[in-house]
Structure 1
Amino acid sequence: MLVYKVPAEPTRLRAGVWRKIKGLGAIYLQNSAAALPHSAAAERALRVLRNEIVEMGGSGYLMESRVLAGHSDIEQAFNAARDDEYEEIVDRCEDFLKQIDKEYRAEHFTYAELEENDEDLAKLRNWFAKVEARDVLGAGGRDAAVSALQRCAETLDGYAARVYAEEGEGR
């Protein structure tokens, strides 16, 4: 658990710490009190963040603790945070599928469009990998994200086949 205080100004410092904490997959137990399930990697990351906070003129205390009461509430909070991230991936996958559909309707079957969509799918997969790495407690939303990414890959494969056929015909 990291308990910290960041200088009020400039506000970008506070926002930067918040983004880093969220990026680690930590949850806030209260204002300026963030927690992660214990691991060597989590400890390293929080030590680095604590050092950054101190260097910006703030203070921070890194503690190892165990939950005496409310364990299931904290576990639910961790899983809810991951489920929110998985849900956002599913939403972005739906946007991806709409984009492929738009390419079909506009009859844009070019290698440039294929490359752009391939890059978009790679970004979704990388994002999923980051969320999955933070999902140490096994949030339930993972399966929906895996399924959505699979649909994206299959749809992109079909689009690629069409691009190859169209480009092969000299269009």
Structure 2
Amino acid sequence: MEWVLILPQVPSDPSRHRVAVWRQLRKSGAVPVSTGVWALPAGPTFQADLDRAGELCRNGGGSLVIIDASPRDDASASMIRDAFMAVRVDEWTEFTADCGKFEAEIAREIQKKKFTFAELEEEEQSLDRLRRWYRDLKKRDVLELPEAKSAESRLRACSTLLEGYAEQVYQAVHGVSEDTGTAPGGKTVIPDERTS
């Protein structure tokens, strides 16, 4: 695998410029491999992020040096790959843990019978955040780690769980029986009304 080594050089004062560059490199998926040296897999996937990091360096009165690198031996290749992989695994693990928190939150709301549209909207926003996070992680998962597949399954489970909760909210708010399509008093509910 080909890599790029990234050497940001930004004056230490004011520190906000260095922090902005550091945050951008982290966001891109770059990993520190030595003091002041970051690594990313080579390729177009990360170019926009590198361009942004370069812009931030220049805004802070510094520069960004990017070097195409090809490790000379297996040990060097493993060192860079393992550093990159370890960060990705940590990210997927954190993501999966947050999916678990989402599932636990839905279970608590169901147990408390808290079936309100306000709560449903809050949970929809939480799922949207998980989806955005998943897309960001997937973009930089060029190694196609098994943790990514596990995370995708967990995200699908969260989506299915929210759909079930949404149905329970609708039934509670509108008094509609899912099995019969009837409201209290035997009034039949038109299917379009049930999905609005």
> Normalised by the size of structure 2, how large is the TM-score?
0.80
The structure 2 residue matched to 1:122, chosen from 119, 123, 128, is 128
What's the CA shift for 1:136?
0.6
Q: Are residues 162 and 30 of structure 1, via their aligned partners in 2, closer, same or farther at CA, if it must alter by over 3 Å?
A: same
1:50 aligns with 2:54: yes
Q: Measure, in 1, the Cα distance between the counterparts of 2:121 and 2:8.
A: 44
1:31 maps to: 35
CA separation of 1:131 and 1:99: change in aligned 2, threshold 3 A: same
Q: Of the candidates 168, 180, 183, which is equivalent to residue 162 of structure 1?
A: 168
Partner Cα distance (2:169, 2:58) in 1: 54
Gaps of 5+ in 1: none
Structure 1 residue 44: Cα displacement: 4.0
Distance in 2 (alpha carbons) for counterparts of 1:103 and 1:22:
35
Shift of residue 67, structure 1, vs aligned partner: 1.4
Q: Give the SS at the match of 1:29.
A: strand
Cα distance in 1, alignment partners of residues 59 and 16 from structure 2: 15
| Deviation of the 1:54 alpha carbon | 2.4
Report the Cα offset of residue 140 of structure 1: 2.7
- Aligned residue type for 2:32: Y
Asked if the contact 1:79–1:140 (Cα under 8 Å) also holds between the matched residues in 2, the reply is: no
- Compare 19-28 and 104-113 and name the one that shifted more: 104-113
Contact 1:47–1:62 (8 Å) recurs in 2:
no
Using the size of structure 1 for normalisation, the TM-score is 0.91
Q: CA RMSD in A?
A: 1.9
1:147 aligns with 2:147: no
1:97 aligns with 2:103: yes
Once superposed, which parts of structure 1, at least 4 consecutive aligned residues long, lie more than 6 Å away?
Answer: none
C-alpha distance in 2 between matches for 1:106 and 1:10: 50
Q: Which of 67, 76, 79 lines up with 2:85 in the alignment?
A: 79
8 Å Cα contact 1:78/1:137 also seen in 2: no
1:139 positional shift: 2.1
Q: Between Structure 1 and Structure 2, how many residues are aligned?
A: 171
- Contact 2:39–2:80 under 8 Å retained in 1: no
Q: How high is the sequence identity, in percent, across the aligned residues?
A: 32
Stretch of structure 1 that moved more, 52-61 or 90-99:
52-61
Does the CA contact (< 8 Å) of 1:90 and 1:145 recur in 2? yes
Q: 2:120 aligns to what SS in structure 1?
A: helix
Q: 1:44 to 1:128 in 2, by over 3 A?
A: closer
